[in-house]
A and B are shown apart, each in its own frame.
Chain A
Amino acid sequence: MSAETYHSRVVSFASYIPEQFVPLGDYAGIGDLPGKLDLHRLTGLDGHRKSKPEEGSLELAVKAAEKCLERANINAQQIDLVVNCAMGKIAGNLEMHLSPSLATLVARRLGIENATCFDMSNACSGMLTSIMLADTMIKSGEIEYALIVSGENVTSLIDEAKSNNLWLRSQAIASLTVGDGSAAYLIGRSDKPNQIAFSEPFTLAQYTNLCIGEAAKKRAGPSMRTKASQLQQGVLDNLGVFLGRSMKHMGLDWEKIEHTYSHPTSPKSMRKGGRVAEAALGQMKNFHNESHDIGNTGSTSHCMLMEKSIQSGDLKSGETTLLISFGSGLAMLAMHITMPEGIEEWS
């Protein structure tokens, strides 16, 4: 990377995991799906978390951001950049925020008055894409602190999918794997180098039409249509080379990385990806595949998994972590970070 004046680091991160757990059998039991499809056997999912009716994308993002700022112990006025990277920006009443950026509303709720605010759209890779941009701005000296947020209020996709005849609309079945949640990262200057590194960013646009999110037809809120097996194959066909190039680009030794988190489309697809990764580069130390009770939470997914790891005491200060991101498009991007100091005290 050129023109680096400063170093950067993840100062803190936080995720809000809604308390309400909805078991898979309540919305996608074997009798509900075409051909007695067993979604648990197919995906490894047990269910998802559902936000409260009053919690839209904005409220979810603010909850994570407040927790993140509390962990960092910094004043909101020190923040120079706020980026929102939620995919749908869906309110509790299923209205979708369009303009100006939802990041502006997040900043207003947090009392941030002088930050640049914008929204990023890069599907499930939006979070890492936003952090990459913020990281560059910090390293060039343009800004000191950046807050990256996302609130994914997406479980209305499940109701939309179920309103269709899934025999005829099988591309809606992937909508049954989503969950609600939110995430926030605070990125700031660092005295030490190499606290954050990124892979080369890739978009393999030949796969761009395999997952489409847009307004639902004849009902409020969004819909999603996914050619899931083709999209997964697109990832698997490129994954080994992507990881090999990423290790080289970031100057990392694969076997020394202490924790690895991949975008959890489903626990079973992560296992498949894990096998491809290990065949290409060797065994991973700690591959975190704990999305069985939260589902696919889009751009928030890595942070949701890391929050679970904090709660279970699996992550320690100074440990190295690789986040691997895939987003429809098809975007592929990885980020290597050092866990912030004091993480053991985060509640």
Chain B
Amino acid sequence: MVVIHGWKSAPLGRSGLLKSITNLSKKLIAETSIKLDDINIIIHGGVYRRNFRVEPAFATHVQDALGLKCTLMTQDSSHCFSFDVSDGSCSPYVVLDAARNMLRIKPGGYCLITLGDERPNPQSKWPYQPISCVMIASLEGEGPRLVSTSYDLSEFDESTCVNMTFDERKSRNVIGSNNAVKQPANTTDSQFVGKINWLSGRHMHEFLSQYSSGTTNLHRVVDQSGKTVTATWN
């Protein structure tokens, strides 16, 4: 079980993903009255980064931008650990599950969760309207509680995989074209299902915006590849 102490989201403007996530994180930390130094873990979830960057993890850039425990190591210095995880649009729950496990390793503190994507370059087609979303999570406390997650890859269709490919005409690496599975038609009233073309940040933004305990506590994310995750909140 992992508890969300607070969250903030905003459409990605012209400032870029790192600035958007950093600004949201600073505002959230101020609003939740959590000390910056109490954050021991940063985990980012998302697929698309500027110029298809893969190294280092985006979360390390967030840690640097926040100036969080960026000091030489001493025998008793406190430090943060940052990394990224992803699985298409199911990334928010992969991140939340990773946060729960990391909080067992570094107990007593908080995990800053960041979700977001940005257009890799102007040459890539970009049908998305990304939303950056940040959350502060811990194992205990007040707030929405993620009770369980269930992943299903039985409907995964390999033809839907998205690749970076080289466009000879543009002389640039771009997002390749891909298929997508169909939007699921039938859902129960108690289940919130986002659109199949939403990216990670938007899925969490939309769910948390309408979430209230005791009403819609099931969140189902269907990735355009057919993979799904169903999450139960309390």
Enumerate chain A interface residues (CB-CB to B < 8 A).
1-3, 87-89, 91, 94-101, 103-105, 107-108, 113, 115-123, 125-126, 129, 132-133, 136-137, 140, 198, 200-206, 208-209, 211-222, 224, 237-238, 241-242, 244-245, 327-332
Contacts and interface: CB of A to CB of B under 8 A. Distances in A.
Contacts of B225: 99-100, 104
Given A1-B105, A133-B98, 7 more contacts: A96-B52, A97-B162, A98-B48, A104-B156, A215-B120, A238-B72, A245-B73
A113 B154 contact: yes
Given A3-B104, A213-B53, A214-B54, A208 B227 contact: no
A45 B91 CA distance: 39
Interface of B: 42, 47-61, 63-64, 68-75, 79-91, 94, 97-98, 101-102, 104-107, 120-121, 151, 153-154, 156, 158, 161-166, 171-173, 175-176, 223-225, 227
Contacts of A99: 47, 86, 88, 161-162, 223-225
A331 B81 contact: yes
A133 B60 contact: no
Given A3-B104, A213-B53, A218-B172, A95 B79 contact: no
B172 A116 contact: no
Contacts of A330: 56, 60
Contacts of A238: 72-73
Given A122-B84, A331-B81, A104 B163 contact: no
B151 to A, nearest CB: 5
Contacts of B53: 212-215
A100 B75 contact: no
B85 A121 contact: yes
A121 B83 contact: yes
Contacts of B101: 133, 136-137, 140
Most buried by A among B48, B59, B68, B82: B82
A137 B151 CA distance: 15
B55 A123 contact: yes
The prevalent SS among residues of B at the interface is mixed
A198 to B, nearest CB: 7
Contacts of B105: 1, 132, 136, 198, 201
B230 to A, nearest CB: 12
Contact of B161 (A100, A117, A216): A100
Most buried by B among A2, A87, A99, A118: A99
Closest 3 CB pairs of A and B: A213-B55, A100-B88, A220-B166
B164 A96 contact: yes
A331 B57 CA distance: 10
B184 to A, nearest CB: 16
B87 A103 contact: yes
A88 B83 contact: no
B166 A208 contact: no
A212 B171 CA distance: 21
Nearest to A124: B55
A205 B81 contact: no
A203 B73 contact: no
B86 A329 contact: no
A95 B83 CA distance: 24
Contacts of A132: 105
Contacts of A237: 72
B21 to A, nearest CB: 14
Contact of B73 (A121, A204, A327): A204
A91 B102 contact: no
Given A133-B98, A211-B55, A105 B85 contact: no
A205 B82 contact: yes
B104 A2 contact: yes
Contacts of A118: 85-87, 90-91, 94
A91 to B, nearest CB: 7
A132 B106 CA distance: 12
A119 B87 contact: yes
Nearest to B167: A220
